[in-house]
Structure 1
Amino acid sequence: MSNFVQLEINERNRWVYFTNYRWVAHLVYWIWVLIVSTIMPAKGPITPSLVFNHFFLSNIVIATFFYLYCLYFIPYFFKRNKNMQFWILLILSYFVIVAIDIFFGRAFVHLTDPVEIDRHLSFSRIYFSKLVSYLLNFFFFSIMLFFMEKNEEDSTLLELEKEKKEIEQVKLDLLKTNINPDFLMRSLHQLKESAKIPEETTPEAILTFSDLLRYRLYRGRQLYSPLKEELFAFQSFVHFIGLDHLHHQLHIKFAVQGLDDDKYIAPLSLVNLLEIFCKATNPNEVLLEIIVLIESDELHLEMQYGSDVTAQLLTDLEEYQSNYSQLYGDAIKLHAERAEKDHTFFVRLTLPLLEKQVLAQSV
C-alpha cells in the first residue's frame, strides 16, 4: 500500500470518527432529556404513549429549532461572516417557532402524567413561559455545541499537523528513492567489471559505494541532516568517481570554504545534484569544478561543467529544483547558464541551513 493511499484512508477515517462522535454526543443529550423531562417526573408506568407525547411530540418543535440553528444558521451564515443575517434569522425563528410550538402542543400533544396541562391558560402566559424554557435549553445546547466544536477543532488541528508531517515524510521518501536506476545499475556493473581486474582500488570503491547507499537509506528519511555528514557523503561520492577512473569520464575538483559545525541541511541535496552530472554521458573526459561556500544560514554551491549542456541535463536540474522546492519553498535557488565562448556550463545553487539550536526548537 502506498503512503499516499494510506493518507487518504486516514483522512476518511478521521471524517468518520468526527461524524460518529457528533451523533453519539447528540444521542447522549436526548437520552438525558428523556430521563430528566419524561421518565423522572412520571408518576405512573412508562408507556409508549407517555414517551410519544411527553418526549417525542413535546420536543419535536424545539428540536427543529436547535437543528435549524446547528445545521443551517451556523454553517451558512455565522461561519461565512454573515453576522447580521445570522442574528436576524436566529431571533425571528426563536420568536416564531415558540408560537408554533404552542399551537402544535394544543392540537397534537396530550400531556396527562404527572399533571394534565391546563388548556385554559392564556396564550401570552404560555408564550412567555415557553420563551424562557427555549432560552434556557438554547443556552445549554449552545454550550454543548461549543465544546463539541472546540474539541473537534483541536483534534482536527492535531490530525492536520500529523498528516502534514506524514506528507513531508512521503516527499522525503520519494527523494530518497529518486536515485537514478540507470546510474545505479551502471555503477554496480562497473564495480562488477572492476572486481574481475586485480586492482588495489576495487575493494575501496565497493566499500565507498556501500557507504553512499547506506547514507541514502538512513539519512534520506529525515527532514534535515547534519551538514558535516552531507559533505562527507558528497566527498565520498567524489572519491568513488575518482576510484572508478576506468569507466567514469568525469573528473572532479572539489573545495569547501566555511565551517560546517552545528549546521543542518536538506538530506541528499548535494548528493542528488552530483548524481545528475554522473548520469550525463560524454565520450570525452570532462572536468567538473565544485566550490561550496558555507555561511551562517545558507550554503552556496557553484559548479563549472567543462562541456556543453544536454537537454536531459537541463530536464534533470529542473526536476531537482521542483522536488526540493516542494519541501523547502523559495529558499531553494538554482540558476544555470551556458557560456557560449568555451562551451562550459555553470550551475549556482543556494540551499537553506539551520543551526542546531533552531532545529531543536522547530522539531
Structure 2
Amino acid sequence: MAITTLKKHISDTFKNYRWLLHVLFWVLMLSYVTYSYAISGYFQSKKFPAPLPVIIFTIRHVILFLVSYSFLFLVVPLFKQPKRYRAWLLFLAIFLFFFLLQIWIFKLLMYMAPAINGNPDYTFMRILNRNFGNFFVPLTVFIAFYYFIDIYDQQKGIRNLEQFKRQKIALESSFLKSQVNPHFLFNTLNNIYALSLKKSEQTQVIIEKLESLLHYMLYECKSDFVPLENEFTFANSYIALEKLRHKEDQITVTVNIKGGSKDKQIAPLLLINFLENAFKHGTKTSFGQSWINMDIETKDDTVHFKLQNSKPFNQHGQAITEYKGGIGLKNVQRRLEILYPKRHQLTINNAKDKFEIDLIINL
C-alpha cells in the first residue's frame, strides 16, 4: 500500500509537464551555483589536486538532488498524515545522514589533499559550516519551490471543484424545473379529460388557457430568473383555470397580493407546485365546500407567500388527516435549497383540518 501511495505521489508530482518546472529549477540552480564557485576560484584552487574540487562539487550536488527528492517523496507526505512524528523521525534521519556524509567528505579531503592537514581554514567544523549552508539553502529553496507549485495546484483544484459543484447544481436545478412541466401538464390534462367526459362547454376555454400557460412555461421560463409579476400572473391564470373545472359551491378561492413586484426577479415555477398541491389534494374526495387562500406580500427584496387550503372531508364530515404533499413539494423544496440557500424560510404545517405553506424568500 505504501509503495502504491509513493508511486501515485511521484506520478502527481511530474504530471502535466510539471517535470519541466523541476528541470528548469535544477538547471537554474546549478547554473547559479557553478558560476558562483567558478568566480570564487574554487575549481582552480592550488590546495587540491586538479580533479578533487570537481569530484566533491559533483558528489555534493548529486547527494543534494537525492536528498531533495527523498524529502519530497518520503517526508512531505508523512507531514500530511495524522501521525506526524514519523515525518520528524525521517527528517532527523536525513539530517544524520547529511552529518555522516560530511565526515566522509572530510576524510576524503584529508586523504586526497594531505597538504591542508593542520590548516585552520579546513578544520572539520569549518568545512561542516560551509557545507551546511551550501547544502540546506538549496534544499530550502527547493522545498519552497515545491510548496509554491503544490499550493497553486490546490487552489486550482479548489476552483475546479467549485466550478464542478456549480455545474452540478445548475444541472440539478434545470432537471427539477423540467419536472414541473410534465407534472403540471399531467394534472391539467386529467382535468380536461374529466370535463370532456361530462361534455362540458368549459373544455374549449380550458384548452385555450392551457395553451397560454404552456407558452409561458416552455418559452418564458428558459432563463434562470423571470420577472416577479410574470410569476404572479401565471399563478393567477392557473387559479382561473382550476376554478373553471370546479363549481362555485364546491370551492372558494381567495387571492390577496400586496406590494410592488416591478423590477424584481424570481426563479420561475416556484409557486405553481404549491398551488397544484392545494387544488389536487385540498379538493380531493371532499363532501363539503373546500377553500384555498393565497396571500403574497412583496416588501423591499423579500417575498412572503402564504397558502392555506382546507383538507378534504369524507362522507361522515371528518377531515382526512392522512395527507401527503407528494413529489411536487419535494421538488420545490430541493429547488429552494439550490436557488436560495440560506435566503429562504419554508414552513409546512399539516394541521388537522387544513394544510399551510409559509414561504419567505430573500430575492
**Does 2:311 correspond to 1:307?**
yes
**Does 2:65 correspond to 1:63?**
yes
Distance 2:33 2:16 in 1: 26
The amino acid of 2:72's aligned partner reads C
Scaled by the length of structure 1, the TM-score of the pair is: 0.65
Distance 1:311 1:165 in 2: 38
The amino acid of 1:275's aligned partner reads E
Moved more, 309-318 or 127-136: 309-318
What's the secondary structure of 2:145's corresponding residue?
A: helix
How does 1:1-363 map onto structure 2 within 5 Å? 19-20=15-16, 22-30=18-26, 59-77=61-79, 92=92, 95-102=95-102, 118=112, 123-179=124-180, 181=182, 183-188=184-189, 190-191=191-192, 201-214=205-218, 217-219=221-223, 222=224, 224-245=225-246, 252-280=253-281, 282-284=284-286, 286-308=290-312, 311=322, 313-316=324-327, 319-320=330-331, 322-324=333-335, 326-327=337-338, 328-330=340-342, 331-339=344-352, 343=353, 345-354=354-363
Contact map agreement 1:255 1:292 (CA 8 A) in 2: yes
CA shift in 2, pair 1:215/1:225, >3 Å: same
1:104 is displaced (CA, Å) by 7.2
What's the secondary structure of 1:178's corresponding residue?
A: helix
Distance 2:100 2:59 in 1: 13
The amino acid of 1:97's aligned partner reads F
Identity %: 20
CA shift in 2, pair 1:193/1:77, >3 Å: same
What is the total number of aligned residue pairs between the two structures?
A: 312
How big is the alpha-carbon RMSD for the aligned residues of Structure 1 and Structure 2?
4.6
Scaled by the length of structure 2, the TM-score of the pair is: 0.65
Contact map agreement 1:265 1:352 (CA 8 A) in 2: no
Distance 2:244 2:20 in 1: 68
1:256 is displaced (CA, Å) by 0.7
Contact map agreement 2:273 2:329 (CA 8 A) in 1: no
Contact map agreement 2:277 2:329 (CA 8 A) in 1: no
Match of 2:119 in 1: none
1:315 is displaced (CA, Å) by 4.8
Contact map agreement 1:292 1:301 (CA 8 A) in 2: yes
Distance 2:201 2:326 in 1: 39
Larger-Rg structure: 2
Distance 1:276 1:17 in 2: 56
CA shift in 2, pair 1:88/1:316, >3 Å: closer
CA shift in 2, pair 1:315/1:193, >3 Å: closer
Contact map agreement 1:234 1:270 (CA 8 A) in 2: yes
1:303 is displaced (CA, Å) by 2.0
The amino acid of 2:22's aligned partner reads H
For structure 1, list consecutive stretches of 5 or more residues without a partner in the other structure.
Answer: 1-14, 44-52, 110-116, 355-363
Distance 2:12 2:236 in 1: 51
1:95 is displaced (CA, Å) by 3.9
CA shift in 2, pair 1:163/1:87, >3 Å: same
